[in-house]
A and B are shown apart, each in its own frame.
Chain A
Amino acid sequence: DAGVIQSPRHEVTEMGQEVTLRCKPISGHNSLFWYRQTMMRGLELLIYFNNNVPIDDSGMPEDRFSAKMPNASFSTLKIQPSEPRDSAVYFCASSRTGGDSPLHFGNGTRLTVT
């Protein structure tokens, strides 16, 4: 089991640029979550999908943020245009809906916007 795979591991970009973060969930998991982690706010849920359908995007900070899940094995989180306050570690996590299926996290993408 390869675990949740995120890319890139690190991203440094200039303010105003578009940033795309990628995630491959664990095979067989049908729920996918995007979290943002900062020192000030801890782990914040941005959006989650069940069976590729966005269920709750109320955590997405602004319209500059968007997420897609075109199929069961791939999701993207896009920030356009990026701002310095978007600098954080972004985690993708997956699980099986229902039952006793814990959440498994990827190793995150550390985003720095200058």
Chain B
Amino acid sequence: GQQLNQSPQSMFIQEGEDVSMNCTSSSIFNTWLWYKQDPGEGPVLLIALYKAGELTSNGRLTAQFGITRKDSFLNISASIPSDVGIYFCAGQISGNTPLVFGKGTRLSVIA
């Protein structure tokens, strides 16, 4: 089946540092999404990307939909302690197909 390779698996950073994580696939997706999961909760949508090449920001978060439609990255600038959690990328072929999720990037922020 389709798989998304998400990296890194985990990262430890100092508060204030910028963070970058990415997701690649051998298949084309027409939608890329980034979710964040806090402990004990379900994943929450951060950013949705619907067009190849699209660059979208949400506060300190910036995500891009790769031009080949096989990859996406998420950047977090000036990290803060509440950025701690697991970040998931997800790809979707069409609105009628389910999302395919990456394995997640576990982010730890050291104050």
A-B complex is real: yes
Which of B31, B44, B101 is packed against the most chain A CB atoms within 10 Å? B101
Give the number of residues in B that approach A within 8 Å (Cβ atoms). 22
Contact A105/B96 with A42-B101, A42-B102, A42-B103 known, Cβ cut-off 8 Å: no
Contact call B45/A100, Cβ cutoff below 8 A: no
Contact call A43/B95, Cβ cutoff below 8 A: no
CA distance A107 to B98 in the complex (A): 19
Contact call A48/B98, Cβ cutoff below 8 A: yes
Contact among A42, A56, A99 with B95 in the assembled complex (CB-CB below 8 Å): A99
Contact among B33, B95, B104 with A97 in the assembled complex (CB-CB below 8 Å): B95
Give the number of residues in A that approach B within 8 Å (Cβ atoms). 22
B108 to chain A, nearest CB (A): 16
Contact with A along B29-45 (1 / 0, CB 8 A): 00101010000111111
Contact with B along A89-110 (1 / 0, CB 8 A): 0010100011111111111100
* Residue A79, interface by CB 8 Å: no
Contact call B33/A4, Cβ cutoff below 8 A: no
* Residue B19, interface by CB 8 Å: no
* Residue A45, interface by CB 8 Å: yes
Chain B stretch 55-111: residues in CB contact (< 8 A) with chain A: 88, 90, 94-96, 98-99, 101-104
Q: Which residues of A contact B (CB under 8 A)?
A: 4, 33, 42-43, 45, 48, 50, 56, 91, 93, 97-108
- For the complex with contacts A97-B96, A108-B41, 16 further pairs of A-B residues with Cβ separation under 8 Å are A33-B98, A43-B43, A45-B99, A97-B95, A98-B96, A99-B95, A100-B31, A100-B95, A102-B33, A102-B45, A103-B33, A104-B45, A105-B42, A105-B44, A107-B41, A108-B42
